Amino acid sequence: MRTLLVADLHLSSDTPEINQGFYRYLEHTAPGADALYILGDLFDAWMGDDLLDATDHPLSIVAQEVIKRLHKLSSDGTTVYLMHGNRDFLLGERFVNACQAMLLSDIEEVEIQGVPVVLLHGDSLCTQDEAYMAFRQQSRNPEWQTQILALPLEQRLELAKSLRMQSGEANANKAEAIMDVTQQEVILLMERFGVATMIHGHTHRPHVHDLTVEEVPAKRYVLGDWDSQRGWDIVVERSDHTAPSLRQFSFTELPDT
């Protein structure tokens, strides 16, 4: 019995190697798992489920492939969970239902193979980045989302492109520490849920961090972002002696389990 977790694939029509690597992962590694958790930024940008109607659009073609493969994985017995990231927070019920998946809240407490865990994308922990936190608050506002989704699709896609450029330019001028999580926020969240294990993505800084929460040893697992040759996941086995394992793998040598 095992559970898999991934994040930050940033799939797009410009990432054919990552797309194919993810498809092979779903065909080779994920089958037989109890569950697959995708903790945000499955897509590099998602500006509304009506993209699926634009069947000739390059990103729509990628999305249809993802839907087909996640639906098959789910139909074969692996529960698929999706979470919003900072790039695909407009993923909606239509896409989730088409994948035969379940949508998680922004912060989710779960039990994975007997281990209590708090899951999140990770961007909400980056509280030192005040400009981003202001945008995050705006972009999660239902009224703002309704206004954006009312725009023509092409206009939304151009907006996404503009936002990505602005983000890249802004991040280039920010100190590295500002774009990482705030340690105190991590501890407060783990105390709030009473867990000693946290898993998230977003920062693109894969690592297993040791910390102390309410005088108890704890761990924070950070998933890595996928690139043209390699991916990252976390596997949790059903064993009293096996902790979650953070793995990097080559698309040419995918893990069997």
Residue 125 per-residue DSSP state: G
Q: Does the annotation flag 139 for ligand binding?
A: no
Q: Is 171 annotated as a binding residue?
A: yes
Residue 198 to residue 118: CA distance in whole angstroms: 5
Task: Give the 3-state secondary structure of residue 95.
Answer: helix
167 is in an annotated binding site: yes
28 is annotated as contributing to ligand binding: no
- Residues 39, 44, 49, 55: is their CA dihedral positive or negative? negative
**Three-class secondary structure of residue 64 per DSSP:** helix
Among candidates 168, 81, 89, 176, which has minimal Cα distance to 124?
89
The C-alpha atoms of residue 147 and residue 132 are separated, in whole angstroms, by: 20
CA 186 from chain center: how many Å?
A: 18
Q: Measure the CA–CA gap between 245 and 230, rounded to whole angstroms.
A: 16
Beta carbons within 10 angstroms of residue 131's beta carbon: 12
The amino acid present at 145, given as its one-letter code, is Q
- Residue 86 assigned as binding residue: yes
**Is 200 within any annotated ligand binding site?**
no
121 is in an annotated binding site: yes
Cα(152)–Cα(154) distance, integer angstroms: 6
Report H helices in the chain.
16-28, 58-75, 93-98, 130-139, 142-149, 153-172, 183-193
State yes or no: 241 annotated in a binding site: no
The verdict on whether residue 202 carries a ligand-binding annotation is: yes
The answer to the question of whether 162 is labelled as a binding residue is no
How far apart CA 224 and CA 41 sit, in angstroms, is 12
Spatial CB neighbours of 237, under 8 Å, sequence gap ≥ 6:
1, 2, 113, 245
Q: Is 13 labelled a binding residue?
A: no
What residues are designated binding site for Mn(2+)? 8, 10, 41, 86, 121, 202, 204
Residue ranges of the annotated binding site for substrate are 86-87, 129, 167, 171, 174, 202
As annotated, the binding site includes 8, 10, 41, 86-87, 121, 129, 167, 171, 174, 202, 204
